[in-house]
Amino acid sequence: MLHELRVGHLALVDDLNLTLAAGLTMLTGETGAGKSLIAGALSFLTGVKADRGLIREGEDLAWVEGVFDLGDRPLTVTWLGTLGVRLGADGILVLRREMRREGRGRVLINGLVSSLALLEQIGGALLAIQSQDQQRLLSRPSFAQEFLDDVLGLEPQLKHLTAARENWNKLEAELTRRRQEEDFARQQLEMWQYQHRELSGMGLDLAEEPHLAEQLSFARNARALLEGAGKALAHLTEGQANARQLLGAAEGALAPVASKSPRIATVLGEIEDAEAMVSEAAKTLERFLDGAEVDPSRLDEMEERKAQYEDLRRKYDRDVAGLIELQVVLGERISRQQVAAADIEELTMAVAEAGAAVGAAAAELRSRRTDGAARVAAQACELIRPLALPEISLEFAVTPRLSSEGGVEVEGQLCRVTAAGADEVRLLARTNRGEKGGEVGHIASGGEKSRIYLGLSVLAGHQAEQPLLLFDEIDAGLGMDNAIPVAGLLADLAGRGQVLCITHLATVAARGAAHLKAFKEVVGDRTVLTVGPLNGEERLAEIARLLGGEAAEADDGSGSRVAYAKQLLARA
């Protein structure tokens, strides 16, 4: 609920802190006292466009701040979490709107700068403001459908439809993508096949090209390599002064004396290692010379093979690993294209089945709406007729939302199906006998809309976490007696939440669990709006003032306005 409203530098308000309670709170005051300014301030917390002209004269900044206690509203807290708004353990939410004479205003949510769009979303869920100047809800295109579904408890059917639509949309997107892919592949298939044949026919091998380079290098320099290897082997193992003999002689000279000097022993070990390395090098040279074969025809083959690798790398602008990967990808594309027709046929059938499931879900929703519409309209009329609308008749008109192309077939008709179903739901009203009816948002006057909305709110009052409801002069144009049923419904509605009502009628004001009064006073040389609570004699005096000059007779015949005010409060 709204725990506290703070307003600063807005029109006649200098600095106003207003504490609100649960249940039904009445706000009264003389004409022009500024009561509707409170409604306007609350509307700013729902994202209504701010008028800079309302900033108090001489000030550069005006603000409205609402402190909401959501400790007992877990569903709302969870919903806020999905919007990225996290509350503390106390469940307090603070919405603040700042308006500047120059420059842009600001929105703060729990002290963090936020957006007007988010404020509109959150404030619109926490505050429902009804006034003769603000009848937006009844005129909103989706109001009738949302209200009817809410009263009939169609949330399970709506969730089922949503799931069916999501599956259908997913499959349609997949089918569209697959068709586009198939169309593109059909145009590219011949090229893909040629490239795949070229790469496959090459028999690509990651190790082959480096091996070819080594073989070609040998073949091109075979004579020099063989001559060098032969001479090196001779120096190592042949002749009277080869390396192996010289190392052996050095080893023989040092071996007898190595035990007498650690340094000589170290040198002897190094000579032994060198002798072993020479022997290993000689064996490697022997193997090289034994296996060296030079075939001129083989050289041409290797040159051609290496050129093929170079051509492919240059043509496709990638290394051998990339060429092998491309070969695999092309093979997959070709295989996928070969089964494209079967894939598309299968997806087409799946889309058709998903569309039929959407149509069935929409048909079920329509059936429930049409079956319950008359009953809900009759229940609403029973609540609204005592509110000085004795001739009112209501009808929830449920008609298919037809589509000329696309859409889903619902009960034999092609319809555009949204998350709300395949129906247009309109709330039609006739407020006076013999007059033409029409959509309630267009045909009813401001006061009639407020009273109709009150009755509908009571009918839908089963919702667990309803917003604060503000009714601005809902009793406008009614006499005190005709307003009594209005006051009763307000009290009934407030029993399940928080209601603030601005009124001029004593019979309405007396039903409030709390009573606030707005009045203007001059402080220094400025006029200031003040709003304060009334209790005891002060409230009695205000109820008597609201009775005004009307010839209100008390039940005991005293004729006293104060006495009648006491009776009204006692009855309430």
Nearest to 15 by CA among 406, 529, 503: 529
Residue with tokens 């295989």: 335
Residue with tokens 């058709």: 352
Residue 56, both tokens: 């108090």
What mean pLDDT do residues 234-250 have? Answer: 80
pLDDT the model gives residue 83: 92
Sequence ranges of the domains in the chain: 181-338, 535-572
What mean pLDDT do residues 340-347 have? Answer: 77
Chain mean pLDDT for the chain: 84
Cα dihedral across residues 188, 191, 194, 199: positive or negative? negative
Q: Where are the beta strands (DSSP E) in 221-282?
A: none
pLDDT the model gives residue 539: 92
**What is the 3-state composition of the chain as percent helix, strand, coil, each rounded to the nearest 5?**
55, 20, 25
Confidence class of residue 551 from pLDDT cuts 50, 70 and 90?
very low
CA 545 to chain centre: 52
Residue 231, both tokens: 């001479």
Residue with tokens 């203007």: 520
Q: Is the pLDDT of residue 516 over 60?
A: yes
Nearest to 97 by CA among 106, 89, 110: 106
- pLDDT for 273-290, tens place per residue? 888 898 888 888 788 777
Residue with tokens 């309670």: 21
pTM check: above 0.95: no
- pLDDT for 426-450, tens place per residue? 999 988 877 778 888 777 777 788 7
- pLDDT for 123-176, tens place per residue? 988 988 876 444 567 777 888 999 999 999 999 999 999 999 999 999 989 888
Tell which wins on pLDDT, 349 or 233.
349
Nearest to 465 by CA among 79, 52, 163: 79
CA 168 to chain centre: 20
Q: Is the pLDDT of residue 302 over 80?
A: no
Nearest to 543 by CA among 507, 491, 501: 507
DSSP state of 20: -
- Residue 462, Cβ neighbours under 10 Å: how many? 11
**pLDDT more than 70, % of the chain:** 92
CA 274 to chain centre: 77
Q: Is the pLDDT of residue 244 over 90?
A: no
Cβ neighbors of 278 (< 8 A, separation 6 or more) are 236, 243, 244, 247
**pLDDT more than 90, % of the chain:** 31
pLDDT the model gives residue 340: 67
pLDDT the model gives residue 134: 46
Radius of gyration of the chain (CA): 46
